[in-house]
Chain A
Amino acid sequence: MKLQLIIILGILSSFLYSCGLDNYDAPGSVLEGRLVYNGEPINVSYNDVTFQLWEPGWQKKAEINVAVDQDGSYSALLFNANYKLIIPSNQGPFRSKLNAESASDTILVNLNGNKVLDIEVEPYYMIRNPLFTVAGSRVVTGTFKAEQIITGVNAKNIEEVAIYVNKTMFVDFRSNVSATSLAGSEITDLNTISLNTTVPELVPTQTYVFVRIGLKIQGIEDLIFSPIVKVNL
């Protein structure tokens, strides 16, 4: 009886040794970087902006979606291969730039080991010099300049700008404890836009909040943001 048990256990534990014959190695190369405009990161909202990596040559086509983080950074753990990087046309508060190598907006990524790749894009607007001050006890004021990058026929107007405040480092239109917005039509001077919002009492009590500015462009789903700033109340 005891012997049988030992034999069964022995057989079972042998299953724990995986068969090394037909297994692939796990993907081990890190592709990381940021979405940038002239080297400056593009800040977006979490889980909203993604781009695709395609590896040609397989029978079935399926893209690898890479999500861009709030600060514009991304990272993906991949197999070594030649990838095509595509930012879908309606993705993000920006336009793709023409890639000289592929003569289109596709970026060819030859991955062989870890790689850092900043992706240059052309945003419609950039939020410049965001400055946050706390007045009184709980009124957070944000002042910034909205610089229009794409002008001419492809220019787009501002739909609205808003200041978002949250308890945690996730700050956008979904995740906030207070927010104030201003319609694009009511902006008089793009060089100095000022917004303020009153932070409600936080439970449990917290002496700091995270703040940033968001800018919505007409006809574009994703917003462009300023970097997240921690302010003490």
Chain B
Amino acid sequence: MKKYSILLLLLMSLAWGCNDKAFLDKQPTNILVDSQIWADKSLVLSVIADLYDRVPEFQTITNWSEFASLDEGFASNAGDYGRHKNTEYGYGEWSNWDYGLIREVNMFIEKCGTADKLDPAVKAQFLAEGRFIRANIYFELVKRMGGVPLILEPMTYDFSGDPTYLRKPRSKEVEIYDFIIKELDEIKVDLPKSSVIKSRATQGLILAMKSRVCLYAASIAKYGVTTPTVTLPAGEVGIPAGLANGYYQKALAAAEELINSGDYSLYRKKENLSENFSNLFIDKGNNPEAIFVRDFKLKSGKVEPWTLQNQPWSQAEDLEGGRLNPSLNLVQSFEKLDNTYETYATKKADGDYIYFSNPKDMFANRDARLEGTVMLPGSFYKGKQLDIWAGFLLADGTIIKGDNFGARKTLPGKTAAEYVVGFDGPIDNLEFSAQSGFYVRKYMDLAVGSGQRGVMSEVWWIRYRLGEIYLNAAEAAFELGNKAKAATYMNTVRERAGLIIPLTEADITFDRVVHERKVELAFEGHELWDMKRWRLAHIIWNGQSTELTTNPGKADEVSTRVFGMWPYKYYNPGGANDGKYVFQKIIPAQVTNAHRFRLGNYYSDINSTIRNNNPLITRNPNQE
């Protein structure tokens, strides 16, 4: 008993020792607290790196399938065929309402503003980057939703039971654009002027982004007039037409300042112009054209699957690939070297096929960007030739083809079986085969292993590059009536693509502006926003099952379904054309419906949950 008393006493004395306040006041070991982060610039960098990474994006190399939701490509993947079967785009499509992210950025800005242990210059740069990210998110929002509530401080609920004081109405669309432009102007001085920094905000990026933002605002002001119902009375949607010129001037000034600064230049490292153009997107060493990128790194956990998902089946390094097939709609848009448009002729005037010894001859004398953007039948990738051909066409018109990659059959008059279809297809309804007859080349990594699931690729995603800035300048100059200047800027970009006959002042039309962006910026995530701001989307995706246009240079030609073009080998033993290639234009069997972009799609739906929680939010037009 006495023994227990002593033990009890001993235990009690231990409890005594806990009296010290500091004993319980411990630093957590699993998270970093504000006071630690805001004292160390490398920790702040990792916070802002996370924010950079979370800026929303629509089409990018980490979600290939969105490129197939418009008319640039076909989705050769069983789970995505629905993209070609929908009758219309939902009103909620492309919507974004990520105020959680905006709150985090606002908190970053607030905390950065009060941090006192950082070097002032470093602190100013972080603050500017925080504001850049916030401006960037608001740009993504205004493109999708129109005017949104402009929240510039982290709002906090006081748990009083009445959250109504947190409700903010939508700003005007023009106010959001003006806010972005103002922010960009203000933060520019605090950012480094360096063309080597690609994945963080720089002065060059501010100018690049400003030219794009102003151009969007300007064209919404100018072309919004053609769709008078796509407006809201209080201006949450729609920009007054009178402001168009001012924005065009700002866009042109920003683009010219960047071009004339000489910090960036168009990428010209390879002699072969097509190779040069495709290299522009994958060359990460000293790339003079890239302005702002989303970067990836091998073996770091942050790699991207674009090459894995889109590699040609005939040389796939893993059991997948070939998903994104560029459409004939896009492929036929590339001009001939004499600056004329021409669709591909598959037959002569007398109705007979045109025969090609090499399938690539079909695409000869075209804009070098064609081969730089698209892998064509007969193209090379990673040093090996693609194997795209759909079957044998017999002299009597019958077609012999297989239903698997490199299927074998016995041709009439022969005894042994042989290949009757290429190892890349095209085979209708077979995923990963080139169902449109083409594979995508832009952003395709050439590194060995980039097509393996366990390795993947570290090719970056270029968000801003100088080529676009030239076209922004050209468009703004054209809209301001300065066609000579527009021609100069456009010719600079075209010359790099091998179109050395310069366009003259008289050649510059709205159709030219639209067309040039289409071919230069294909698969770079511009098409939807461009078509929206020009108010062309409801015209070119009007829901009607129209045949493929014969006038690819015209801006408002209907392009609701994706088409393809398949090469066949001609089989006619003893005939002059035996073994040569012929082409047939097709529509992939999975393309059953036409895209329909309704007026209500111009600004995405703000759903009823948001509107019920905050009755001050007005609904976007034409969605009822």
Most chain A Cβ neighbours within 10 Å, of B228, B545, B598, B621: B545
Q: Contacts A60-B612, A62-B612 known; A88 to B229 CB distance under 8 Å?
A: no
Q: Contacts A90-B621, A91-B624 known; A174 to B612 CB distance under 8 Å?
A: no
Chain A contact residues (Cβ within 8 angstroms of B): what range?
10 to 19
Most chain B Cβ neighbours within 10 Å, of A61, A179, A221: A221
A90 touches B594 (CB 8 A): no
Does B60 interact with chain A (Cβ within 8 Å)?
A: no
**Selected contact of B608 from candidates A62, A173, A176, CB within 8 Å:** A62
- Name the 10 nearest CB pairs between A and B, nearest first: A88-B624, A60-B612, A90-B229, A174-B543, A90-B622, A173-B544, A221-B599, A62-B608, A61-B612, A219-B228
A174 touches B229 (CB 8 A): no
Does A52 interact with chain B (Cβ within 8 Å)?
A: yes
B87 touches A174 (CB 8 A): yes
Residues of B within 8 A of A52 (CB): 624
B624 touches A173 (CB 8 A): no
Residues of A within 8 A of B77 (CB): none
**What's the least CB distance linking B127 to chain A, in Å?**
40
Most chain A Cβ neighbours within 10 Å, of B87, B544, B611, B612: B544
- Beyond A61-B611, A90-B624, list 16 extra A-B contacts (CB 8 Å): A50-B624, A60-B612, A61-B608, A62-B612, A65-B624, A88-B624, A90-B621, A90-B622, A173-B542, A173-B544, A174-B544, A174-B545, A219-B229, A221-B229, A221-B538, A221-B622
Residues of A within 8 A of B594 (CB): 174
**In the complex, which residue of chain B has the Cβ closest to the Cβ of A50?**
B624
Chain B contact residues (Cβ within 8 angstroms of A): what range?
20 to 34
Residues of A within 8 A of B612 (CB): 60-62
Does B596 interact with chain A (Cβ within 8 Å)?
A: yes
Q: How would you classify the secondary structure of chain A's contact residues: helix, strand, loop or mixed?
A: loop
A50, B622: Cα distance in complex, Å: 11
Residues of A within 8 A of B87 (CB): 174
Q: Considering the complex, which residues of chain B in the window 583-599 have a beta carbon less than 8 Å from any beta carbon of chain A? A: 593-594, 596, 598-599
Q: Considering the complex, which residues of chain B in the window 518-541 have a beta carbon less than 8 Å from any beta carbon of chain A? A: 538
A174 touches B596 (CB 8 A): yes
**In the complex, which residue of chain B has the Cβ closest to the Cβ of A52?**
B624
Residues of A within 8 A of B624 (CB): 50, 52, 63, 65, 88, 90-91
B596 touches A221 (CB 8 A): no
**In the complex, which residue of chain B has the Cβ closest to the Cβ of A51?**
B624
Residues of B within 8 A of A219 (CB): 228-229
Q: Considering the complex, which residues of chain A in the window 49-99 have a beta carbon less than 8 Å from any beta carbon of chain B? A: 50, 52, 60-63, 65, 88, 90-91
Q: Considering the complex, which residues of chain B in the window 349-379 have a beta carbon less than 8 Å from any beta carbon of chain A? A: none
Q: Contacts A173-B544, A174-B87 known; A221 to B598 CB distance under 8 Å?
A: yes
A62, B538: Cα distance in complex, Å: 28
Residues of A within 8 A of B229 (CB): 90, 219-221
A221, B544: Cα distance in complex, Å: 14
Residues of B within 8 A of A50 (CB): 624
**What's the least CB distance linking A67 to chain B, in Å?**
12
**What's the least CB distance linking B601 to chain A, in Å?**
11
Q: Considering the complex, which residues of chain A in the window 18-64 have a beta carbon less than 8 Å from any beta carbon of chain B? A: 50, 52, 60-63
